[in-house]
Structure 1
Amino acid sequence: MSIRGRGVAVAGLGCLCAAGLSVDECVRALFRGERDPRPPARLSTNLPTRNPVFELPESFFAVEPLARREDTTLTAAMAVATAREAMAMAGLEPAALSGLRVGALVGTTVGSAMNNEEFYREYRTGGRPSMKPITRFLHSNPASVLAREFDLRGPVQTVVNACSSGTDAVGLAAEWIAAGLCDAVLAGGSDELCRVTYLGFNSLMIFDPEPCKPFDANRKGLNLGEGAAMLLLLSDAAAVKLGCKPRFRVLGYGSACDAYHPTAPKPNGAGLRAALSDALRTSNLAPSDIAFVNAHGTGTPDNDRVESLVLPEALPGVPYLSTKGMTGHTLGAAGAIEAVFTAACLELGEVPASLGLTQVDPSFPSSPVTERTKITGRAGLSQSLAFGGNNSAVVIALGDT
């Protein structure tokens, strides 16, 4: 399948993470550059060092009823909240979609599926634990929850492709519409902090005990985060029917796996190069048409090095940045959150500084922007590098492109 042509319309965006509970709040925080990652408050461990994370503001639990329900995961609740914001930005009530084939496509990683340790501990010691945690898990597939909450009648899929899941969900949703599988898709990613991921990344020894420093010479690793972002994608016919003026467009999508290592990217960036090439090809754009790149930029030694190598070769002269210094690494939600940030920055005509970068790595062939920077051009690219060697990229443009 291919997107091509004028791309696929995006009528609305939704986003929430540690930086804020809406697209506007998050973007304002990005440009302020103020951050405060702290040791996790909602999960406990016996680790000697409690590395900082970017947790969701507690105020979310007061404003989102679904987040307080015992039968639904926070991952699903965040997906619903951001989908609601995306529809509101488009000027639509959920009922307006009832006559259309609307799909739900959500990226996640563990999606908090493994936050049931007490259940397994009691079962393994011969107890008879309550089945509520299992029922909660079975009822909380984030794409299925979206379909149920908004009575969607199109295809439903949850993408679990490590840290590229959110990017893949956006790209695949555009392909669904281009292929005529549905009229609209609520697509994005959602992931909550979880003891399993927190302890797992600790065991990989890639945590930074301080606020993360993507692309910095003194980077030590990542900070985990949590959040969600959703985009409302429409066919042109559906946009006309609903009276929605496309605010943005998904022009291209590429995905490639180099299968080099369980966690590290191939040193020469072969997979990322292939994904970028496909994203540009399907968008019918030249590298010079890209205004900026929202890089994956986790703050880990290998990932940042590969991106700094590939980007100036694949997209010479194109500025890039990482927004994870403000959000932490939100895993399966990261690609969707960064796609939303890419769209918002295009609309503003500028990008924020790559937060955390204070000392350029002299071994890198390129480096991100270090200050608020004006951009020219109508298309931006957001990319994700995932465990297992998967690499994905989406090209997003302003709606009248």
Structure 2
Amino acid sequence: MMDCKEAIVVTGMGIISALGESVFQSMDTLANGVVEPASPQLPGCTIQKPVFKARGFDEVRGIDESRGLYESRGLYESPGIDEARGLYESPGIDEARRFDKSGWLDIEKQGESRTLKLARVAFQEAVTQAGLSDGSDFGIGICSGTTVASQLNDIDFYQSFRENRLKSYDAFNHYLSGNLAEALKDSFKATGPAMTIVNACSSATDAIGVAMDWLKAGLCDIAVAGGADELNRVPISGFNALGILSAAPCRPFDAERNGLNLGEGAGFLVLETESSAKKRRAKPIAECCSYATVADAYHLTSPRPDGSGLESAIKKALNCAGICEEMVGFINAHGTGTPTNDLIEGKVFKKMFGSSLDIWATKGFTGHTLGAAGGIEAVLTISALREQRLFKSAGFATIDHAIGICPVKHEKQICAEYAISTSLAFGGMNSVLIFRNLKL
């Protein structure tokens, strides 16, 4: 865990998910509350339980439907917003910067995984808002979390092998195409460290934590951190085999919840020390106060029943941030909609914060995006802090008295200085980020 000296601030954010392909679109969709999962029409996949596809991604970029993608639900539309400009707009941003989708952001590049293409979209929005360009004179590190991208394109590789169509056994090149951080570093001409974190569903949160450590250690001036993951047959089949995919839209923390929906997307933050931001005259969006992670080593896929791993991680993060439980304004929960995760997570929240703290669950809008989840939820947490507004937790209707907490049911104004984002993962991982609103 990092030490607690100079402040680290966020100067750029980028996101793509079922909510939309920008921060503004995502917050607007949350306000409208209109996202619903659809059937995953993936070749070779007989499991038709609902999933959340990255909104608008394929229509804009002409992605080949034959590569395992499925029908779109349409582009973002909103009166008065000129989406063709591709601008990041949000209350409190003095000057919107053009989100350039050309140049190095070449979605048509052959041989790139869908995960990398998703990563490029969110990465580009983040660095554009931060005022960075490729080849910048700053030492920029890149740390990206993922799960699916690390599969070495093994779906196509194995299928080709079975059908005697394999022209090369060069697994090294397959690996490189799944190394998000190196690919982004190469495209952006970054000169700092690069690392891809594969730590199941806490991957992006852990990537942000690693990037914070880099900055504290002076390994780079600026770090871009987050995660990306695509939908494909491997995670769908795996989660279905575990019996935790829901046949209906997921319902985090609801008494009738029965499983999760998978999703896809990417979320990235541009992080730098406060002194670096001042030197560049970059406007901070928020402070990334602290990160902590605890492995409870209890079970391969289940968290420890008493929630001690998550509780310990939250306590460590609070201590590093120098705050107490009463100073936390809300929590963006991992909230998958599975019976076990939500029960344990909710009990920890109630034990530590009581039953009155606002608990926000966003996976009812995005699905569980696996290695991207922590990055996407970090962006949403910071955006909610900046706007001082929480939206409904999609799917929640009935309180589970065994948990004893009631997630946010309707849009509401808040007055929060600090917020927590939690990520739980297979292997006993419990990772926590704390953000601070700099406007209060």
Counterparts of residues 114-193 of structure 1 (less than 5 Å): 115-124=153-162, 127=164, 129-131=166-168, 134=171, 135-193=173-231
Change (3 A) 1:60 1:381: farther
Give the alignment's TM-score, normalised by structure 1: 0.94
Change (3 A) 1:106 1:60: farther
Which residue, 68, 80, 84 being the options, matches 2:120?
A: 80
* Separation (CA, whole Å) in 2 of partners of 1:122 and 1:79: 26
* Separation (CA, whole Å) in 1 of partners of 2:110 and 2:279: 38
Moved more, 31-40 or 266-275: 31-40
Which residue, 300, 320, 339 being the options, matches 2:378?
A: 339
| Aligned 8 A contact 1:291 1:376 in 2 | yes
| Aligned 8 A contact 1:15 1:22 in 2 | yes
Q: Are residue 90 (structure 1) and residue 130 (structure 2) matched?
A: yes
Paired amino acid for 2:14: G
Give the alignment's TM-score, normalised by structure 2: 0.86
Aligned to 1:350: 389
Counterparts of residues 2-401 of structure 1 (less than 5 Å): 2-5=2-5, 7-47=7-47, 50-57=48-55, 58-62=58-62, 66-95=106-135, 98-111=136-149, 113=151, 115-124=153-162, 127=164, 129-131=166-168, 134=171, 135-316=173-354, 317-399=356-438
Paired amino acid for 1:312: K
* Separation (CA, whole Å) in 1 of partners of 2:300 and 2:393: 27
Residue aligned with 1:38, SS: coil
* Separation (CA, whole Å) in 2 of partners of 1:154 and 1:272: 32
Residue aligned with 2:178, SS: coil
| Aligned 8 A contact 1:255 1:390 in 2 | yes
| Aligned 8 A contact 1:70 1:136 in 2 | no
* Separation (CA, whole Å) in 2 of partners of 1:41 and 1:371: 32
Moved more, 34-43 or 179-188: 34-43
Report the CA distance between 1:381 and its aligned residue: 0.6
* Separation (CA, whole Å) in 1 of partners of 2:401 and 2:272: 45
* Separation (CA, whole Å) in 1 of partners of 2:290 and 2:120: 26
* Separation (CA, whole Å) in 2 of partners of 1:43 and 1:86: 33
* Separation (CA, whole Å) in 1 of partners of 2:385 and 2:190: 30
* Separation (CA, whole Å) in 2 of partners of 1:138 and 1:296: 30
Residue aligned with 2:13, SS: strand
| Aligned 8 A contact 1:67 1:73 in 2 | no
1:188-209 deviations in Å (ceiling 9; x for gaps): 0100112111111110110110
1:83-127 deviations in Å (ceiling 9; x for gaps): 1101222233334xx2221100001113262543343244356x3
Change (3 A) 1:143 1:311: same
* Separation (CA, whole Å) in 2 of partners of 1:43 and 1:37: 18
| Aligned 8 A contact 1:80 1:149 in 2 | no
* Separation (CA, whole Å) in 1 of partners of 2:155 and 2:429: 29
Residue aligned with 2:12, SS: strand
* Separation (CA, whole Å) in 1 of partners of 2:211 and 2:272: 10
* Separation (CA, whole Å) in 1 of partners of 2:3 and 2:60: 35
| Aligned 8 A contact 1:3 1:174 in 2 | no
1:40-72 deviations in Å (ceiling 9; x for gaps): 13444134xx10100123234246864332221
| Aligned 8 A contact 2:115 2:149 in 1 | yes
Q: Mark the runs of 5 or more structure 2 residues left unpaired by the alignment.
A: 63-100
* Separation (CA, whole Å) in 1 of partners of 2:250 and 2:32: 17
Q: Mark the runs of 5 or more structure 1 residues left unpaired by the alignment.
A: none
Paired amino acid for 2:122: T
Aligned positions, number = 396
| Aligned 8 A contact 2:7 2:274 in 1 | no
Change (3 A) 1:288 1:60: farther
* Separation (CA, whole Å) in 2 of partners of 1:219 and 1:235: 41
* Separation (CA, whole Å) in 1 of partners of 2:279 and 2:132: 12
* Separation (CA, whole Å) in 2 of partners of 1:281 and 1:394: 12
Report the CA distance between 1:337 and its aligned residue: 0.5
* Separation (CA, whole Å) in 2 of partners of 1:18 and 1:112: 22
| Aligned 8 A contact 2:115 2:148 in 1 | no
Report the CA distance between 1:298 and its aligned residue: 0.2
Residue aligned with 2:141, SS: strand
| Aligned 8 A contact 2:42 2:232 in 1 | no
Moved more, 9-18 or 132-141: 132-141
